Structure 1
Amino acid sequence: MSTSKHMQNIPALRLRKATPADAALVARMHAQSWAAAYRGILPDTYLDDEVPRERAAHWARRMDEIDAGDGLVLIAELDAAPIGFVCLANPDANGSALVDNLHALPGSRGAGAGSAMLAAAQAWARERGARQLHLSVLEANRPAIGFYESRGWRFAARENDRMGGIDVISLVYTFALD
């Protein structure tokens, strides 16, 4: 019996650097991710009506800033289909690089994109002399908190925030780059 009959097609996960031409794609993934992750946390009208427009405007601006050297956006692709992205900001005066966004599309969770994007974020930040990474996550987003904590991120602070016209609590998590 040939071993090729038993070999499975393993989907190819890759990360690619985003360009300003990817702004609309990143905005769509961001809006889709929020609509799934924040349903029941933020108002439906905000998620369905405002977020797509808001994210489109945000990413059109942000991708120009990224292109000018203010960080990095990587798009995760599984078999060439985009399934997530991570946005990183250059290290601050304290040597901490911000993971500004990390999103995997609903239905693609478990494919390894989140872990791959975090590993790439760590390598990118180290290359820039950062001593740590930091991010904010909504306190009500328990799956995301579990994801970060299971990968060694540590709670650092609790902050009042406002999204979608309501008060929310954001938690700051850090990851030491030893």
Structure 2
Amino acid sequence: MPISKHTDNPASLRLRKAVRADAALIARMHAQSWAATYRGLLPDTFLDNEAPVERATHWKKRMEEIDAGEGIVWIAELDGEPIGFVCLVDPDVHGSVLVDNLHALPGFKGAGAGTAMLAAAQAWALERGARRLHLLVLEGNQAAIGFYESRGWRFSAREDDHMGGIDIVSLVYALALE
């Protein structure tokens, strides 16, 4: 799905559908994003040592599920360089699409990838008859919370979880589709 963004320095931002061979790339981007975003929220040893290995295993399996038709992953590229990704899961019984992951690499936040990926997510969800999107945000991730709230997403619930060897709270945010 090509999406262009033009700036003073002509750069091309586009989304491409990920394939199984992209699993390692997605895992690296995911671990890099976590290491930058969750520093101070999750243990450094988890972010630096365990997350890269865990994400590699996760994305190998997840891309097999995506290939089996259980959703879609797009990779955001700026001038051909991967800078982020989004993973969507087919609508649930309530007509809601889970935005399973949305990450832009450190250094590329503000390049428009997050906004482009959310727009693609909305279009994809609507094509499948979904009535809303939902996602989880780690409590304390103020940048992500501000990003979603500024785009109309609303807090809907809190969920206790466990990640990186510690108890955490995930905030559920949702966006009604019209």
TM-score normalised by length of structure 2: 0.95
Structure 1 gap segments, 5+ residues each: 1-6
Change in 2 beyond 3 A, CA 1:172/1:8:
closer
Partners of 2:49 and 2:174 in 1: how far apart? Answer: 32
- Partner in structure 2 of residue 176 of structure 1: 176
| Alignment correspondent of 1:46 | 46
Partner of 2:12: 12
Query: Match of 2:114, as an amino acid?
Result: G
Match of 2:135?
Answer: 135
TM-score under structure 1 normalisation? Answer: 0.95
Find out whether 1:118 has 2:114 as its counterpart: no
Q: CA deviation at 1:159?
A: 1.0
Deviates more, 1:7-16 or 1:148-157: 7-16
- Secondary structure (helix, strand or coil) at the match of 2:40 reads coil
Q: Is the partner of 2:133 in helix, strand or coil?
A: strand
Output the CA distance in 1 between the equivalents of 2:118 and 2:8: 27
Give CA deviations for 1:70-110 in whole Å, capped at 9, x if unaligned: 00000000000000000000000000000000000000000
- How many matched pairs? 172
- When structure 1 is superposed on structure 2, of 7-16 and 131-140 the one drifting more is 7-16
- How far did residue 9 of structure 1 move? 3.1
1:33 paired residue number = 33
Q: How does 1:14-163 map to 2 (within 5 A)?
A: 14-163=14-163
Distance 2:74 2:16 in 1: 5
Amino acid at match of 1:170: S
Q: Which residue pairs with 1:3 in the alignment?
A: none
- Residues 1:8 and 1:155: Cα distance change in structure 2 (over 3 Å): closer
Partner SS, residue 34 of structure 2:
helix
Query: Counterpart in 1 of 2:3?
Result: none
Q: Which has the larger radius of gyration?
A: 1
Q: Distance in 2 between matches of 1:96 and 1:173?
A: 12
Report the counterpart of residue 4 of structure 2 in structure 1: none
Partner deviation per Cα, 1:140-166 (whole Å, 9 max, x = no partner): 100000000000000000111111111
Q: CA deviation at 1:8?
A: 3.9
Tell me the secondary structure at the aligned position of residue 41 of structure 2: coil
> Post-superposition shift, 1:10?
1.5
SS of the equivalent of 1:69 reads: coil
